[in-house]
Copies of this chain bind each other. A is one copy, B any other.
């Protein structure tokens, strides 16, 4: 199991660029995030990797974010969700259930990406922004909540 060795190498290099080491705890964090098809909350991370003390988990996830390995997105509730940066997981968007709050990954279609790429630059330009990235959230009812 686990990420491909080349990905670990790339992460190690990325960390080294800011004089950070790729320690065992950081590998545990990366593996935990990589194993999930959806972004995880910190309580979920702490439960999945029970050897991780809270303070170390927060400190290391911050280090990984600063190195560009992890990104934090904002969940429907107040607290944050963590996932691998798109460079290591691929570009994708999120489905959010309006009823239960579940968030999961969804692969974008070429068609959507093409449309976004053009329209997005135009919108940003209109307000003087240099847009470098887009994020799309789709809200709706998940299969479970639709059934209910």
| The one of B75, B79, B138 that contacts A123, using a Cβ cutoff of 8 Å | B138
Instruction: Report whether B106 and A111 are in contact in the complex, using a CB–CB cutoff of 8 Å.
Output: no
Given contacts A74-B76, A129-B138, A141-B129, whether A115 and B119 have CB atoms under 8 Å apart is yes
A36 at the interface (CB under 8 A from B): no
| The one of B119, B128, B136, B143 that contacts A135, using a Cβ cutoff of 8 Å | B136
Closest Cβ neighbor of A132 among chain B residues: B140
Instruction: Report whether B95 and A109 are in contact in the complex, using a CB–CB cutoff of 8 Å.
Output: no
Instruction: Report whether B131 and A140 are in contact in the complex, using a CB–CB cutoff of 8 Å.
Output: yes
| Whole-angstrom distance between the Cβ of A1 and the nearest chain B Cβ | 24
One complex includes copies of this chain to the number of 2
A95 to B133, CA, bound (A): 10
List, in ascending order, chain B residues with CB within 8 A of A16's CB.
none
Closest Cβ neighbor of A118 among chain B residues: B111
A48 at the interface (CB under 8 A from B): no
Closest Cβ neighbor of A75 among chain B residues: B74
A141 to B79, CA, bound (A): 25
A118 to B109, CA, bound (A): 11
| The one of B73, B78, B134 that contacts A79, using a Cβ cutoff of 8 Å | B78
A119 to B107, CA, bound (A): 12
Instruction: Report whether A95 and B137 are in contact in the complex, using a CB–CB cutoff of 8 Å.
Output: no
Lowest 7 A-B CB distances belong to which pairs?
A74-B74, A115-B115, A112-B119, A128-B143, A131-B140, A133-B139, A135-B137
Instruction: Report whether A142 and B128 are in contact in the complex, using a CB–CB cutoff of 8 Å.
Output: yes
